[in-house]
Chains A and B, each alone.
Chain A
Amino acid sequence: MSKVLLELIDVQKTYGTGENEVHALRGASLQVKAGELVAIMGASGSGKSTLLTIAGGLEVPTTGDVRVLDSSLPTLKPTQLATLRRQTIGYVFQDFNLIPSLTVIENVALPLELDGMKVRKARKAALDALVSMEIGELANRFPDEISGGQRQRVAIARSFVGPRQVLLADEPTGALDSKTSEAVIRALRKRIDAGIAGVLVTHDAKLAAWADRILVIRDGQIVEEISNNITPEQFGA
């Protein structure tokens, strides 16, 4: 039985007050185990991105609990939360968020170096991450010297470099063509299979289909779960 690495328990998030009050999440619960990829699908404004930012400790829930490994995020002090985020949680965004003045390997090693790891050791870990994404040869290039698909693979390598165990991705292939998207999701899936817990927010059904479970969110609530625990014969595939 794989360990639960990320858990949201009855999370509510409200923005504004009085007439301007908006309920972005209305009691969302979720568990993600090691080696499991969960996709969150929903229309714009359904709360899927809010759920991801709360899961990653970038926002605090109004009520409810968020547990990453064995820590309850809302109870952590800001410095503890920052450390946990840096060491445990990796993010992948649609627009890559690479630093243009740093080389590929420097971008990937940066979170480790910020965390006090010696430069040589951090670069070694960064190179390992790049090699696992099959882009080790790009280590010394700058972001503007590589393609969009390669940049996103760099961003994924950065998201799981070092000891991180939770990977959160928000429309990671939104800016990529179909062929490149598949290479990127295949690489991301490979990392998840190696024992990381992943949450993927997307409106792209083809991408969500790579997940073990697909949760549909509507008006801030998870209203449905679609799982692939079925045999292909059941659908004549």
Chain B
Amino acid sequence: MSVRASILAVLTMGECHGYQLRQEIESRTGGSWQINIGQIYSTLERLERDGLVESAGSNEQGQTRYRATATGSVEAQLWLTSAIEASPEARNELAMKLALAVTIPGCDVEKLVHAQRVQTMRTLQVLTATKRDVDQNDPAELPWLLVADLNIFNCEAELRWLEHIEGTLARSAARGLNPNQTLSQPAKRGRPTKTN
């Protein structure tokens, strides 16, 4: 997630100091993204070094205010209007856990998939129940609704994936296909054994 681009995007609307930037980003993402204040300041320093933001003086409390330079504004616009590359998320914890589980003897993968389906369905219920109570006509709720919908669709996608792999596992078992469950021979390469 680009802290740098998000800071630039907020600064295209006017001058802000560091803490204010943190609050703006948090409220504009439906409270779903809380950035460490230290990260905000260090990013501002790098942006200033790269000529994308500049200091606009200090306020009464002595806080430095920043604004986007012309180059910074162009970069923010580019970020806001371009698609991001699909994230492979190949190391998604659940996928990795299931991939490992099918190779480890004694793991009840079917039970694991089932437990995950129930858990994800409950999460989907909670998200939906919360969304039900939100006033759809309140513009202040819009950022939260957008993020909530993403989480809802992600839950749905995960449930469809889990249902699909349940079938895959059942078919594999029916055909007697079992991944190699034994440890492979240690590679000869690597650090030599210490000798005293």
A, B co-complexed: yes
Contact with A along B164-184 (1 / 0, CB 8 A): 000000000000000000000
Q: Which residues of B are found within 8 Å of A228, using beta-carbon distances?
A: 122, 125-126, 129
| Distance in angstroms between the alpha carbons of A208 and B118 in the assembled complex | 13
Q: Which residues of chain B have C-beta atoms less than 8 A from A189's C-beta?
A: 132
* Given A209-B127, A232-B130, A237-B126, A224:B118 Cβ within 8 A: yes
Q: Hey, which chain A residues are within 8 Å of B125, CB to CB?
A: 209, 211, 214, 226-228
Total B residues in contact with A, Cβ cutoff 8 Å? 20
Chain B contacts for A208, CB-based, 8 A: 121
Interface residue B156 (Cβ < 8 Å from any Cβ of A): yes
Beta-carbon contact of A226 and B156 below 8 Å: no
Closest chain B CB from A218 CB (angstroms): 11
Q: Does B123 contact A (CB under 8 A)?
A: yes
Q: Which has the most chain B C-beta neighbours within 10 Å: A205, A206, A210, A214?
A: A205
The contact string, 1 if C-beta is below 8 Å from chain A, for chain B 139-176, is: 00000000000011101100110000000000000000
Interface residues of A in 100-129 (CB under 8 A from B): none
B11 at the interface (CB under 8 A from A): no
Q: Are B126 and A205 in contact (CB under 8 A)?
A: no
* Inter-chain contact total with CB atoms closer than 8 Å: 49
Tell me, rounded to whole Å, the shortest Cβ–Cβ distance linking B99 to chain A.
23
CB-based contact B128/A226 at 8 Å: no
Q: Is the interface of A mostly helix, strand, loop or mixed?
A: mixed
Interface pair B156/A235, CB less than 8 Å apart: no
Known: A189-B132, A210-B128, A210-B132. A205 touches B155 (CB 8 A): yes
Q: Which chain A residue has the least Cβ–Cβ distance from B121?
A: A226
Number of interface residues of A (CB under 8 A): 17
A205 touches B118 (CB 8 A): no
Q: Once the chains are docked, how many angstroms separate the CA of A208 from the CA of B120?
A: 13
Decide if A214 touches B130 in the complex (CB within 8 Å). Answer: no
- Separation in Å of the A235 CB from the closest CB of chain B? 5
B7 interfacial contact with A, CB 8 Å = no
- Contact between chains at B128 and A209 (CB < 8 Å): yes
Contact B121 A205 (CB under 8 A): yes
- Residue among B129, B152, B155, B160 with max Cβ neighbours from chain A (10 Å): B129
Whether A237 contacts B130 by the Cβ 8 Å rule is yes
Question: Can you list 26 A-B pairs with a CB-CB distance of less than 8 A?
Answer: A189-B132, A205-B121, A205-B155, A206-B124, A206-B153, A206-B156, A208-B121, A209-B121, A209-B124, A209-B125, A209-B127, A210-B128, A214-B121, A214-B125, A224-B118, A226-B118, A227-B125, A230-B122, A230-B126, A235-B123, A235-B126, A237-B123, A237-B126, A237-B127, A237-B130, A237-B151
Known: A214-B121, A226-B118. 17 other contacts (CB 8 A): A205-B124, A205-B156, A206-B124, A206-B128, A206-B152, A206-B156, A208-B121, A209-B127, A209-B129, A210-B128, A226-B122, A226-B125, A232-B126, A235-B122, A237-B123, A237-B127, A237-B130
